[in-house]
């Protein structure tokens, strides 16, 4: 919270050309409705957005950059998640 008592909100916008929401920035607002309206005015001025999410910053949990190696290491022993050893037939497109 800031000195005026308004919590910080994280803003995610889905663009007209995109399929997923991306983090656009942060803003302070007294409630979710005002955060949504302010996010619209601030981050979609040029009509580039089709959807906006606002999330209280306090609700976001993130991994620590200092612990990235041990945190992501379990994924390294699952080669089936990365199909780099498959041969793709010539006639198959968009795989």
Residue 32 structural domain = 8-81
In a domain, 3, yes or no: no
Unique residue bearing structure tokens 């089709």: 50
In a domain, 48, yes or no: yes
pLDDT at 35: 97
In a domain, 94, yes or no: no
Q: How far, in Å, are 13, 50, 61, 69, 89 from residue 25 at the CA level?
A: 9, 16, 16, 27, 43
pTM here is: 0.69
Count of domains observed in the chain: 1
pLDDT at 31: 96
pLDDT at 70: 78
The answer to whether 23 and 4 are in contact (CB under 8 A) is no
In a domain, 90, yes or no: no
Query: What does the pLDDT look like over 24-75, one tens digit per residue?
Result: 999 999 999 999 999 999 999 888 889 999 999 999 998 888 888 878 777 6
More confident site: 18 or 30: 30
Q: The domain spanning residue 38 has which CATH number?
A: 3.10.20.520
């Amino acid at each position: 919270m800031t000195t005026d008592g308004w919590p910080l909100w994280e803003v995610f916008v889905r663009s007209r050309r995109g399929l997923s929401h991306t983090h656009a920035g942060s803003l302070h607002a007294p409630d979710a409705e005002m955060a949504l309206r302010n996010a619209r005015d601030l981050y979609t001025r040029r009509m580039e957005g089709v959807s906006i999410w606002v999330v209280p910053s306090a609700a976001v949990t993130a991994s620590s950059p200092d612990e990235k190696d041990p945190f992501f290491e379990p994924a390294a022993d699952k080669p089936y998640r990365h199909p780099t050893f498959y041969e793709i037939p010539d006639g198959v497109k968009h795989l």
